[in-house]
Structure 1
């Protein structure tokens, strides 16, 4: 695209060029200044914005800034940003946990009291608009050279069928040789199980058990134990001393991974407060939460209370009772990307983030929870480079196509890929096929479903956590109808690990966070968490005559028709329900766009909502209409029940 500067600007640029000729090669700063001035001029021209869009940094007062790890658009139109301790061990040790509520319309902010370290928990939106947040951080990782005391898992046994017991944090377990280990968390041990044989009258007691992480009472290698031992519990007397005891196989000074918590909370968007609900059975750090067609929430994976990947033990949350129950077992690495598909099955794209062995739980496939069967879906290129890739259910959801974009090798691998791949899950034998490649090899790419059925992707880095100054200042739109990318304006802020992006109700996209490992190309300075919020205004918002919808939010039953007033009924070509996003670690399984059939009725449109709960799960949605130029309205909130 050619830009024609005004006469005044041409004079300025020519003058700058003359200065640069006189300055010669000794004036790199002057060259940079001139290039920067021209760049700023170019990206602010109306023609440029109408073709590529425009980025701007949102002003956030210092007292509200935080290390955004999680971002959710609430049905009030506000955005909840959760940091918890924000990957800052000093805040963790000090018990300082942060959340900020941002109103992007008024650009106002509010601090939210945060009861636990929700850093790296899981979250999803419930049918009534509340946000379920489960899991988080119980302990930061400690590298092997920094481990001061031996520690590990202690199984606490109970052989008493008449008594359950909770042992507090600090409970001391003593080995036969006198070594002591203290529980780092409270541990509840249920009653032993008593069964009787009606024929013989014989009664059998089976000990119950619970696990807790313990650490040695002394620094150094003296606390290491490499043999299986039975441990007494200090303070117990008589029968209790025999009925309650500890068992451990190995207590060592190995690297200590992050540990999860079991606590769960609902964030109420009306009262703007966290409310504690029943805790999970498993501690989880880096879990995925995904809503199902019956309104319940599936929680999978995460690191447990001793820092190991939860071995396939999954749970279901019922919002009606605010309780958890057991779900079918299935193993996944941490933060797996799981999507509810038509028919109620869950598709695992292979995308994940963080932790898990390279040879387990990496294969994409369809999971039938009713029969607990997992059917692999083949065909993806670079299957070993799916970690930190982006995944989404392509718009509209009726097409049942899932796309994977970019990705990196397992752990701190330098590998990355420009691969995209698409699978049609309506096919008789679903199989990934290659999509158009990204402009660069990219991991940590954020992907956002837009009202015009495109997918906006932005940021990422080539290397692990932006290492070697490898952040990618590029953005683009993917067009599902033609299977190609078009270029968007370049963001000004680099984004890699711990970054999120959300579609706002006015059609813009907000991008948060970024946690580079290093702050320079040579990897000699520690990185700084990016607290700036950058907002992208797409090209369609620089078009004139944006269509409008009028009226308040509505409650609509699936299978019913809803009527909306608009002065632009004759211009409307599409109607979309878009579920608000809830993103963390390049994982956003909440967002989906559902195409609605509609009829024009004078100055109104009547839209029909599909009856299938697996296509349109209950909850709050943004209703957008677009015109013949693909320009969207502002959204109206609709509650689907």
Structure 2
């Protein structure tokens, strides 16, 4: 039956090309799951794609042995570890997307519930964690060979950063906000007057609950250079240069918190430089306000099904609410190359925490931000395994979504439980990767590896069937640091285009685009550049914005 529909789609594309952009809405196109590894040895609590198409994956170090040994007889000696003082297993790996292979990395201190961001040169800076790791900064340079590994700098953070959030800034620094009982922020690298100090942020204290929970606050860099910060139900625009709250918004309707442990998810919707920039935040899902307390009595209330969108520059901003097809907590929300969102992983009831959720949601959702309310959500194909607490997802260069993790237990537990610890790695291919679209799929032949602000550049691509009336756009995506349902530093910018597209060969075409307007629109660094033709994206290629 599936092959019949593929043939039907090919027929429609060939003889009725004007309808091709509607095909993604057809219900039989639900994407495809593929198992990559039954075990990578660790449960993927944190993920980051690097510019060399390798994914850094790591867990925590304080639960005992993992299922992958450190190579060469190496061991980690940690007198502060609460389970193993001598541990000869790895708690981090480097996964090679191209070869589908992985190797062990060495983490010396505990990375549990930590955060991260990528510097303009492509180096991953990873901050904080638990116990002996809570003041540590770790760096990993995108490199090859067996000597490529983590480098750690103890006592480098001014405060304990456990459940903090990071954001890369226009000047290339990283701001690190919050953490458990930390109502302050700091920078990396620090400047002369803040390198060893944290800066008080009253908003974080005001928004904590009775358990001091407003953890992993949602943090987005806005096009004007200020920050959007959301904690539990409240949100502000924050000028970090002056330590000043510029504006506070109405609380999200419903009264239910959205940050950990309620664990909703948040994105800054794609920024389109071809129109007046109207920054808009979207927040979806999460546990109800009472879920964290009810779980202690083994009661698991249904999660929230609502999403809220907020245009922050409106004169009287208000949350525009809509419902997902099902309740979701602990889901991950990613921007796809075509500008749609995917909401993946999670559960229908309960909250984040050990043994604290039930009813896994195995079907991802695709959300189309520019469609009419009521028609934006599509339900995708079901995964074969649940992804609950401590699961992750990141976008890959070829447009797939890499998914791993799920360990709702204090230790690795594979038997006698409803939801065993999951060490597998799999990918989800959204509908735009269907073979039915191969004739419409553009392939980038040539473009600049360095794109400069406000400077035009050309991009040459090939496509089997070019639709003259279709929209062709060039966009950049900043790969995110994903953990605990929040993808830090995630953003998409649709670059200014200069139509029309010119033909330079039998199936080859050239389009001109312009680099981002400002570092506030797109901070300097490495991005994935995609070209979208008739709603179908190319594979991405790495470019450096500077």
TM-score, scaled relative to structure 2: 0.77
Match of 2:337 in 1: 451
SS in 2 for 1:550: strand
In the aligned structure 1, how far is the partner of 2:3 from the partner of 2:476? 41
TM alignment of 1:72-471, pairs within 5 A = 72-85=48-61, 88-89=63-64, 92=81, 93-95=83-85, 96=87, 97-138=90-131, 261-270=134-143, 272-277=148-153, 279-303=156-180, 309-310=181-182, 312-318=183-189, 324-326=195-197, 328-330=199-201, 331-332=203-204, 333-350=214-231, 362-374=233-245, 375-386=247-258, 387-396=262-271, 398-409=277-288, 411-413=292-294, 414-415=300-301, 416-435=303-322, 437-461=323-347, 462-465=349-352, 467=356, 469-471=358-360
Distance 1:324 1:269, change over 3 A: farther
Q: Which has the larger radius of gyration?
A: 1
Structure 2 distance, partners of 1:101, 1:89, is 20
Aligned position for 2:73? none
Structure 1: runs of 5 or more not aligned: 7-45, 140-259, 304-308, 352-361
Change (3 A) 1:513 1:4: closer
Checking the alignment, whether the CA contact within 8 Å between 2:234 and 2:252 is kept in structure 1 is no
Whole-Å separation in 1 of the counterparts to 2:511 and 2:486: 34
Paired position in structure 1 for 2:209: none
Preserved CA contact (<8 Å) 1:295 1:319:
no
CA pair 517-486 structure 1, distance change in 2 beyond 3 A: same
1:521-561 Cα offsets, whole Å, 9 max, x none, are xx984753211112111111111221100247611221112
Shift of 1:50: 6.6
RMSD, aligned α-carbons: 3.0
Which has the bigger relative contact order, CA under 8 A and spacing at least 6? 2
| 1:338–1:348 Cα contact (<8 Å) kept | yes
Query: Does the Cα contact within 8 Å between 2:174 and 2:188 map onto a contact in 1?
Result: yes
Distance 1:327 1:261 in 2: 14
* 2:29 counterpart SS class: helix
Q: Which range is displaced more, 438-447 or 46-55?
A: 46-55
Aligned to 2:8: none
CA contact (8 A) 1:579 1:621 kept: yes
Partner of 1:540, secondary structure, is helix
Which residue of 424, 438, 442 corresponds with 1:544? 438
1:611 aligned partner: 517
Give, in angstroms, the shift of residue 619 of structure 1.
1.1
Distance in 2 (alpha carbons) for counterparts of 1:300 and 1:577: 26
Preserved contact between residue 448 and residue 459 of structure 2 (Cα < 8 Å): no
C-alpha deviation, 1:290, in angstroms: 1.1
261-270 vs 369-378, greater mean Cα deviation: 369-378
Which secondary structure state, in structure 2, belongs to the residue aligned with residue 324 of structure 1? coil
Q: CA 1:84/1:379 → structure 2, altered by over 3 Å: closer, same or farther?
A: closer
Deviations 1:570-628 (A, max 9, x none): 66611110111210000112111100122334432222012211111111000001111
Cα distance, 1:293–1:468 mapped onto 2, change above 3 Å? closer
Aligned-partner Cα distance in 1 for 2:170–2:25: 45
* Cα distance between partner residues in 2 of 1:49 and 1:88: 43
Identify unmatched segments of 5+ residues in structure 2.
6-23, 67-80, 205-213, 295-299
User: What displacement does 1:47 show?
Assistant: 12
> C-alpha distance in 2, partners of 1:459/1:452?
20
Taking structure 1 as reference, are residues 342 and 497 closer, same or farther at Cα in structure 2, changes over 3 Å only? same
2:487 to 588, 592, 607: 588
Partner of 2:541: 636
**Inter-CA distance 318–467: structure 2 relative to 1 (3 Å threshold):** closer
Q: CA deviation at 1:487?
A: 1.6
Q: Deviations over 1:414-460 (max 9, x none)?
A: 4421011000012123221112x112221101111011110011121
SS at match of 1:51: coil
| Cα deviation, residue 105, structure 1 | 2.1
Task: Decide whether aligned partners of structure 1 residues 508 and 50 sit closer, same or farther in structure 2, where only a CA change above 3 A counts.
Answer: farther
Structure-2 separation of matches of 1:533 and 1:395: 28
Partner of 2:208: none
Shift, 1:89, TM fit:
4.9
Match of 1:241 in 2: none
SS in 2 for 1:495: coil
Could you tell me which residue of structure 2 aligns to residue 237 of structure 1? none
